Amino acid sequence: MPDILPQTAAMLAIGDELLSGRTKDRNIGHLADVLTLAGIDLKEVRIVADEADAIASAINALRRSYTYVFTSGGIGPTHDDITADAVGQAFGLPVDYHPQAYERLAENYRARKLEFTEARKRMARTPTGAELIDNPVSVAPGFRVENVHVMAGVPSIFQAMLDNVMAGLPHGRAISSETLHCPFGEGEIGGPLADIQKRHPGVAIGSYPKYEGTYFHAEIVLRSRDAAALSAAKADVEEMLAQIVSSRPSA
Amino acid sequence: MPDILPQTAAMLAIGDELLSGRTKDRNIGHLADVLTLAGIDLKEVRIVADEADAIASAINALRRSYTYVFTSGGIGPTHDDITADAVGQAFGLPVDYHPQAYERLAENYRARKLEFTEARKRMARTPTGAELIDNPVSVAPGFRVENVHVMAGVPSIFQAMLDNVMAGLPHGRAISSETLHCPFGEGEIGGPLADIQKRHPGVAIGSYPKYEGTYFHAEIVLRSRDAAALSAAKADVEEMLAQIVSSRPSA
């Protein structure tokens, strides 16, 4: 796969429920879609349990390797919400109530005539110096420390926070893609497709097998930031597919 | 989270398409469900691109930390299917045609009167000494090297291969779980739930917020291999929920 991608990102999804099968993650695919549109290349995803050491060591590995890190989960009010502490541990920063976060939450519970319990106050805790990520859905904010963006796990809140984050990031040149349907299995195209990839190093060519119980077919996806390179590679793949079709005995 | 889990596992999902958003993974949740039923604790998941170094270094990190590693993707016939080579790289093993895999594929294409192309032959390549994982769907096998189980990315094939692998693994004592619905947000229960977790170290208690656009509620999930401990913790959570309900002004 040619390296044509300037800004990189990683995601860390946090939560026992994702690893027990109880909750099926819906944030990874959404982040992937959003980053692709923004021209930022998602390079790695990890899912870890609600364990501080596991979270902290994953954050440290990812934040040093990629331009941006996005996390989901573990920022609510219960004892298993330990992401803020784990991020503090990763950065060697103390974790305390963030003044603006505390005030936003206090005001919200005052207005709703609900007690601002110790549990609810947990949602105001961040590593010292963190910048808040607004939560238009349910007030309790996410936060950013350096290149690590810490967001909620509930999909509607994750998505709203991500919208706020993306508005502030410099976008890369978006990748364009072309998808060609291949009506036969990958075994027929593997050799010629490898040759085409070699001739077009500025285009990432992927082949994705499909099987729904009767026969194999495939989708060939070409991706590039260079429109001319993409067109040239696409023409070569189309010609290759046409040659295979014409060489087959008719039914 | 108390450590009540003897056998551990990690998953590595491989493929550019998962990171671009083009394909939404369906194997992670399935593996999580199957392992939970088998009493094996999935502790970490990673998703990486079709890049040999990324795959090899993830495999080495995971195989040294967990009892089992399961991979999906990258074992087809096209140039971007490089999982076998990356696994060989991780283990320092040469990669070559596996005699039984080669024979199965040759026989299959012979019977179907299809050419056994160089691309198709790629699907017979494994690190030296690998044990095959049968593929009842489409012949081309997965393989195992030590504790690393290498399987296809197409969900129906991944699932069939996994069934074969699981039949041969020693199962742990299955975890039992109880789910209690909490009709109010986590802010109300965070404090008392943390106390209950402290009193029941043999039970993993998780709280999962739910929000569908109107109000927060939560599901409290208790998990343990010890039925008596699970019952005792469940009784405490039920009592805590009942107390909160009775302390509220009636509508």
Tens digits of pLDDT across chain A (251 residues)? 434 447 999 999 999 999 999 899 999 999 999 998 888 999 999 999 999 999 999 999 999 999 999 999 999 999 999 999 999 999 999 999 999 999 999 999 999 999 999 999 999 999 999 999 999 999 999 999 999 999 999 999 999 999 999 989 887 777 788 999 998 888 889 999 999 999 998 898 988 888 877 788 899 999 988 899 999 999 999 999 999 888 876 54
B32 beta partners: none
Structurally, chain B folds into a number of domains equal to 2
B148 is a domain residue: yes
CA angle, residues B19, A181, A213, in degrees to nearest 5: 85
pLDDT score of A251:
47
| Cβ atoms of B93 and B125 closer than 8 Å | no
Could you tell me which of B181, B113, B114, B101 has the C-alpha nearest to residue B141? B101
d(CA A12, CA A48): 7
Strand order in the sheet with A216-224: A176-182, A216-224, A204-211
- Are B62 and B156 members of one domain? yes
Q: Which domain holds residue B202?
A: 176-247
- Are B48 and B141 members of one domain? yes
Instruction: State how far residue A118 is from chain B, nearest Cα, in angstroms.
Output: 7
A54 is a domain residue: yes
Q: Which of B122, B148, B167 is the last residue of a domain?
A: B167
Tell how far CA A124 is from the center of its chain: 25
- Are B15 and B32 members of one domain? yes
- Are B124 and B35 members of one domain? yes
- Are A201 and A137 members of one domain? no
- Are B33 and B93 members of one domain? yes
Q: Is it the case that residue B2 has pLDDT exceeding 80?
A: no
pLDDT score of A5:
45
Which residues 95-124 in chain A show a CB within 8 A of chain B?
109, 114, 117-120, 122-123
ipTM of predicted complex:
0.86
A28 is a domain residue: yes
pLDDT band at B251 (very low <50, low <70, confident <90, very high): very low
B143 is a domain residue: yes
Q: Give the chain A residue whose CA is nearest to the CA of B3.
A: A51
pLDDT score of B174:
76
List, for residues A85-95, the tens digit of each pLDDT value. Answer: 999 999 999 99
- Are A142 and A180 members of one domain? no
Q: Quick one: tokens of A134? A: 């607004």
A133 beta partners: A142
Q: Which of A167, A201, A231 is the last residue of a domain?
A: A167
- Are B29 and B142 members of one domain? yes
pLDDT score of B248:
76
d(CA A8, CA A10): 7
B150 is a domain residue: yes
Q: Determine whether the interchain pair B197/A79 forms a contact, defined as Cβ–Cβ distance below 8 Å.
A: yes
What mean pLDDT is predicted for residues B145-155? Answer: 97
- A102 φ, ψ to 5°? -60, -45
A1 is a domain residue: no
B175 Cβ partners below 8 Å, 6+ apart?
A: B4, B5, B36, B39, B41, B223, B224, B225
Q: Quick one: tokens of A80? A: 């298993």
Amino acid identity, position B166: M
Distances (CA, A) of A20 to B34, B103, B190, B210, B251: 9, 38, 22, 17, 37
pLDDT band at B3 (very low <50, low <70, confident <90, very high): very low
- B138 φ, ψ to 5°? -145, 25
Mean pLDDT, chain B, rounded, equals: 92
List, for residues B117-143, the tens digit of each pLDDT value. Answer: 999 999 999 999 999 999 999 999 999
Q: Would strands B131-133 and B148-151 be described as parallel, antiparallel, or unpaired? A: unpaired
B3 is a domain residue: no
List, for residues B67-97, the tens digit of each pLDDT value. Answer: 999 999 999 999 999 999 999 999 999 999 9
- Are A192 and A160 members of one domain? no
A110 three-class SS: helix
- Are A221 and A204 members of one domain? yes
Amino acid identity, position A224: S
Q: What is the CATH number of the domain that holds A219?
A: 3.30.70
Which residues 190-219 in chain B show a CB within 8 A of chain A?
190-191, 193-194, 197, 204-213, 216
Q: Would strands B8-14 and B68-72 be described as parallel, antiparallel, or unpaired? A: parallel
pLDDT score of B175:
79
pLDDT score of B4:
41
A141 is a domain residue: yes
Beta-carbon neighbour count of residue A5 at 10 Å?
A: 19
Instruction: State how far residue A235 is from chain B, nearest Cα, in angstroms.
Output: 19
Q: Determine whether the interchain pair A188/B117 forms a contact, defined as Cβ–Cβ distance below 8 Å.
A: yes
Instruction: State how far residue B190 is from chain A, nearest Cα, in angstroms.
Output: 4
Q: Which of A108, A138, A167 is the last residue of a domain?
A: A167
pLDDT band at B250 (very low <50, low <70, confident <90, very high): low
Q: Quick one: tokens of A72? A: 């989901």
Q: Please indicate if any CB of chain A lies within 8 Å of the CB of B174.
A: no
- Are B149 and B27 members of one domain? yes
Q: What is the CATH number of the domain that holds A131?
A: 3.40.980.10
| Cβ atoms of B13 and B71 closer than 8 Å | yes
Q: Please indicate if any CB of chain B lies within 8 Å of the CB of A43.
A: yes
A19 three-class SS: helix
Q: Across the interface, which of B44, B120, B212 has its CB nearest the CB of A47? A: B44
Q: Determine whether the interchain pair A42/B23 forms a contact, defined as Cβ–Cβ distance below 8 Å.
A: no
- Are B123 and B47 members of one domain? yes
The residue assigned the tokens 């106390």 is B195
Q: Which of B11, B12, B45 is the mutation pick for testing A, counting most A CBs within 10 A? A: B45
d(CA A103, CA B95): 60
Beta-carbon neighbour count of residue B110 at 10 Å?
A: 11
Q: Determine whether the interchain pair A20/B36 forms a contact, defined as Cβ–Cβ distance below 8 Å.
A: yes
